[in-house]
A and B are shown apart, each in its own frame.
Chain A
Amino acid sequence: MSRCLRYQKPIICEHLANQYVAGALTHGVRARVETLRQTTPELDRAIAKIADRFADIHWRLPSAPLSPSDSNDLWDSIDAQLVTTPIPPEAEPATVQSGFWSSVLAWKLTTGLSMAMSVLLAIFLVTTPAISPVEPNLVAHTAQGPHYLATMSAHNDTDKAIQFVISAYGKQADKPSRLHLQWSKQHLNDEAQTRLHLWAEDRDTGKLSYIGLQPPKEQSWDLTKTNWNAVSNSGRLLMTNSNAVPTEANTVFSGICLQLNAWKQAESV
Chain B
Amino acid sequence: MTDTDWSAQIDALLHRIHRQDKAALKEFYQLAGAKLLAVLGRILNDHHEAEEALQELFVKVWQQSSKYTGSGSAWGWVCVIARNTAIDRLRSAKNRRHSSTDEYPELLSKLVDNTDLSNTHWIGRCLKQLKPNAQRAILLCYVNGYSHSELSHEMATPLGTIKAWIRRGLQELKQCLAA
Identify the A interface with B (CB < 8 A). 18, 20-24, 27, 30, 34, 37-38, 41, 44-45, 47-49, 51-66, 71, 74-75, 77-79, 81-82, 85, 87-88, 90-94, 98-103, 105-106
Contact = CB atoms under 8 A, between A and B. Distances in A.
Interface residues of B, number: 65
Interface string B128-143: 0000000000010111
Main secondary structure of the interface of B (DSSP, over half): helix
Interface stretch (B58-66, B94-102, B153-161): B58-66
B69 interface: yes
Contacts of A60: 3, 110-111, 124
Nearest to B15: A98
A77 B66 CA distance: 23
Contacts of B26: 75, 79
Interface of B: 3, 6-7, 15, 18-20, 22, 25-26, 29-30, 33-35, 37-39, 41-42, 47, 50-51, 54-55, 58-59, 62-73, 75-77, 79-80, 83-84, 87-88, 107, 110-111, 121-124, 139, 141-143, 145, 147-148, 170, 173, 177
B152 to A, nearest CB: 13
A62 B39 contact: no
Given A22-B142, A53-B123, 20 more contacts: A18-B170, A37-B69, A44-B69, A45-B71, A51-B76, A51-B80, A52-B73, A54-B123, A54-B142, A58-B35, A59-B3, A59-B6, A64-B34, A64-B38, A64-B47, A74-B55, A78-B59, A93-B18, A93-B19, A99-B70
